[in-house]
């Protein structure tokens, strides 16, 4: 049964004129009906099992956050998929950010910093946030190291392989360190950020990788917009700050460059062009 058949079976009264299927994500297939309703279908058991938790966490967080987030209002009777009204806005690709005037950019930075601050300081005891799992970076690091050993010697130069090893070693050191732990989104980057020009509002989507981990993780992929942007958000951030946060964020961003190289071979979601560009960008430094 394809997604449209599952939607019709779960919600007999729901009708639509158009349907758009999105398969770009790693863990979910997404169907958008009439450009108004987003339905997410987990593709792996851990994400399917966590869907109810994600919905409860988002309902709890929504009144506390200064940004728009998904508010699920349709859940399949068997809990296997769910939907929410489409959040307005353009995907915040670097070129979209570059096109904003000073007032809009300032509002965006303020809202993003406010989002991270509120999320990272959200009280956990006695709330649905108690269900948020611990970081799985250690397991991902093991997978990336193994995949790098298998796939990368054939496509990288010796100097590049040395850089990969330095990055993985730096992440090993972070994993062994005593670092702050907060609830993190764990995947804050352009595809999960929406900017609504009409209302000058930021939207944040895809909380399925949320975990308890180092707050620096949520700054890592903001380097996609450049170091000045990362620092601008950090200056307005009122969450747990420590002198090493931005350096750790850069280490995590470098690791993502290696992760994308290995993903190209292991999973295939990342094109070689994107993986190579990301790795080259982090090699150039901040």
CB 27 within 8 A of CB 44: yes
pLDDT in tens, 216-233: 999 999 999 999 999 999
Domain 3-85, classified CATH 3.30.420.250, yes or no: no
Beta bridge partners of 22: 30
- For residue range 67-112, what is the model confidence (pLDDT) as tens digits? 999 999 999 999 999 999 999 999 999 999 999 999 999 999 999 9
Residue 196 has a pLDDT of 98
- Give me the pLDDT at residue 27, please: 85
The answer to whether 164 and 144 have CB atoms below 8 angstroms apart is no
pLDDT over 70 percentage in the chain: 100
| Mean pLDDT rounded to a whole number for the chain | 96
Mean pLDDT of 22-37: 90
Contact, 131 vs 242, CB < 8 A? no
Please check the confidence at residue 1 and state whether its pLDDT lies above 70. Answer: no
With beta carbons less than 8 A apart as the criterion, state whether 79 and 40 touch.
no
How high is the pLDDT of residue 46? 87
What is the CATH code of the structural domain delimited by 90-284?
Answer: 3.90.1200.10
Model pLDDT, residue 262: 97
Taking the C-alpha atoms of residue 18 and residue 115, their distance in angstroms, rounded to an integer, is 33
| Residue 26 to residues 30, 44, 105, 270, 279, Cα–Cα distance (Å) | 11, 10, 29, 9, 19
pLDDT tens-place string over residues 113-172: 999 999 999 999 999 999 999 999 999 999 999 999 999 999 999 999 999 999 999 999
For CA atoms 91, 184, 82, 201, the dihedral sign is negative
Mean pLDDT of 238-253: 97
Which bin fits 266, alpha (ψ -120 to 50), beta or left (φ > 0)?
alpha
How many residues would you count in the chain?
286
Kindly state the percentage of the chain with pLDDT values over 90.
93
Global confidence as pTM: 0.95
Domain ranges of the chain: 3-85, 90-284
What integer pLDDT is reported at residue 37 of this predicted model?
A: 98
């Amino acid at each position: 049964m394809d997604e449209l058949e599952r939607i019709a079976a779960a919600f007999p009264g729901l009708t639509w004129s158009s349907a758009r299927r999105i398969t770009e994500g790693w863990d979910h297939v997404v169907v958008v009906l009439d450009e108004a309703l987003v339905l997410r279908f987990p593709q792996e058991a851990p994400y399917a099992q966590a869907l109810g938790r994600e919905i409860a966490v988002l309902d709890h967080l929504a009144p506390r956050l200064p940004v728009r987030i998904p508010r699920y209002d349709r859940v399949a009777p068997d809990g296997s998929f769910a939907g929410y009204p489409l959040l307005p806005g353009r995907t915040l690709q670097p070129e979209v950010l570059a096109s904003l005037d000073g007032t809009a950019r300032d509002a965006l930075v303020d809202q993003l910093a406010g989002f991270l601050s509120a999320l990272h300081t959200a009280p956990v005891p006695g709330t649905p946030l108690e269900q948020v799992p611990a970081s799985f970076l250690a397991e991902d690091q093991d997978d990336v190291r193994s995949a790098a050993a298998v796939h990368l010697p054939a496509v990288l130069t010796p100097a590049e392989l040395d850089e990969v090893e330095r990055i993985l070693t730096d992440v090993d050191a972070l994993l062994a360190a005593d670092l702050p732990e907060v609830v993190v989104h764990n995947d804050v980057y352009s595809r999960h950020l929406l900017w609504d020009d009409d209302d000058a509002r930021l939207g944040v989507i895809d909380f399925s990788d949320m975990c308890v981990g180092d707050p620096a993780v949520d700054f890592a992929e903001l380097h996609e917009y450049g170091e000045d942007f990362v620092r601008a958000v950090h200056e307005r951030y009122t969450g747990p700050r420590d002198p090493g946060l931005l350096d750790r964020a850069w280490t995590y961003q470098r690791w993502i460059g290696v992760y994308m190289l290995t993903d190209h071979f292991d999973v295939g979601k990342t094109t070689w062009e994107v993986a190579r560009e990301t790795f080259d960008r982090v090699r150039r430094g901040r």
